Amino acid sequence: MYDLEKRIFLNDNYQKHKSISKVQKAYRTKYKSKTAPSASVIINIANNYKTTGSVQRRRCVTRKRTVRTHDLINDLKNLFMDDDKLSLRKAANLVDASHMTIRKVAREDLNLKPYKRRRTFKLYRADYKKRLDFVKFVKSRRLNLEDSFICSDEAYFYLHGGHNIQNDRIWAEFQPNERQEKPLNDEKAMVWCAFSAKKVYGPFFFTENVNGENYLEMLKKFFWPKHAPLQKIQRYYFQQDGAPPHRRIIVQNWLKRQFGDRFLTSMLWPARSPDLNPCDFSLWGTLKANVYNPKPETIEQLKENIKREVKIFSKTDLTSIFRNLKKRLDLVEQEKGGYIEHLL
């Protein structure tokens, strides 16, 4: 929303320069703002001034309207052109119409739909370059993701983590006041898993907090015995994220000895990039959607459910995940290292 002073400033500058970009630049300079009004807002203010001689929005001063008139539709259209985050109830107050009428106008006459803004992880300035550098590394090596890439990660699974409150309803004439009890400190299992397009390594369950020592022991005694017997193991690249246990020198040195320059060190893997780790964008979500059916009563039952679901992954599923990763890397390059999930 823009107050009268700002609307006058925008109109005066547009009448003077006849250039949207110059108006936006002047606005950012005067109000020390990183953002500026969109082109549609500026043009709408200028057109309103041209037709009415005023930069103020037209306001309805009559009683609340329940009929979807042409004037009401135009008023609401102008409001949403000025502020697309305006709530229906606030819009109803501004044009003095009922909430249900405004809802019908927005949906049926203006064909508007209420979209949620996506929440995503924060990228820092240096992250853009590191993400691009990783894409360049994959392409310079001509790395076949479907044939020679192993990704890995850990995640917590909570014993009572499968309760969806949105789907838990009781149909009754009166409030039944029933409760869904959940422990204050829920039991949990720390799960490590790795997979390529051809094989799943895991799950492995840590019995204590993960540190450099027990993580390295897991790699030596659990992961490597499963990986070493494979044919042409020298073609495989190994990925892990930048969690503190992964960055320990003893871990990095051991993986370098096993994989050589095919180990993606903590310097190569881009930080804050769950959208590039197949474990984050595929594996964990799939598992957490399925391991609570049937609902486990003990932590051991939860672990058995996890083992069951991991075994279900087929080679077709795994291949599809790595094709998705290739598409994501192309999008990272297209977006110059920026966010990509809104494009998927």
Question: In whole angstroms, what is the distance from residue 144 CA to residue 235 CA?
Answer: 10
Number of Cβ atoms within 10 Å of the Cβ of 86: 15
Which range among 94-103, 204-213, 280-289, 314-323 shows the weakest confidence by mean pLDDT? Answer: 94-103
pLDDT in tens, 317-329: 999 999 999 999 9
Question: In whole angstroms, what is the distance from residue 261 CA to residue 163 CA?
Answer: 44
The reply to whether the predicted model has a pTM over 0.85 is: no
Question: In the chain, pLDDT over 90 holds for what percent of residues?
Answer: 52
More confident residue, 261 or 63: 261
pLDDT in tens, 101-160: 999 999 999 999 888 877 788 899 999 999 999 999 999 999 899 989 999 999 999 998
Q: Band of the pLDDT at 226, cuts 50, 70, 90? A: very high
Which range among 3-12, 147-156, 249-258 shows the weakest confidence by mean pLDDT? Answer: 3-12
Q: Band of the pLDDT at 16, cuts 50, 70, 90? A: confident
Buried-exposed string 296-306: b where 16+ CB fall within 10 A, e elsewhere: beebeebbebb
Furthest CA-CA distance within the chain: 81
Q: Band of the pLDDT at 40, cuts 50, 70, 90? A: confident
Number of Cβ atoms within 10 Å of the Cβ of 55: 19
Q: Is 101:65 a contact under the CB 8 Å cutoff? A: yes
Which range among 6-20, 45-59, 99-113, 276-290 shows the weakest confidence by mean pLDDT? Answer: 45-59
Domains of the chain and any CATH numbers: 4-109 (no CATH), 125-343 (3.30.420.10)
- The mean pLDDT of the chain is 89
Query: Looking at residues 6-24, what average pLDDT do you find?
Result: 89
Question: In whole angstroms, what is the distance from residue 120 CA to residue 105 CA?
Answer: 32
Which range among 60-74, 243-257, 271-285 shows the weakest confidence by mean pLDDT? Answer: 60-74
Structure tokens at 33: 């703002």
Cis peptide bond upstream of 294, omega within 30: yes
Cis peptide bond upstream of 245, omega within 30: no
Tell me the chain's radius of gyration from C-alpha atoms. 28
Question: In whole angstroms, what is the distance from residue 277 CA to residue 281 CA?
Answer: 6
pLDDT in tens, 59-98: 544 555 578 888 889 988 898 888 888 889 888 888 888 8
**What is the 3-state composition of the chain as percent helix, strand, coil, each rounded to the nearest 5?**
55, 10, 40
Residues 6+ apart with CB under 8 A from 335: 343
pLDDT of 166 higher than 70: no
Q: Which residues, in sequence order, are bridge partners of residue 65? A: 97
Q: Residues in the chain, how many?
A: 344
Distance set, CA 29 to CA 4, 35, 169, 242 (Å)? 18, 10, 53, 40
Q: Helices 70-82 and 39-52 meet at what angle, rounded to 10?
A: 140
Q: Band of the pLDDT at 7, cuts 50, 70, 90? A: confident
What pLDDT, on a 0 to 100 scale, did the predictor assign at position 111? 92
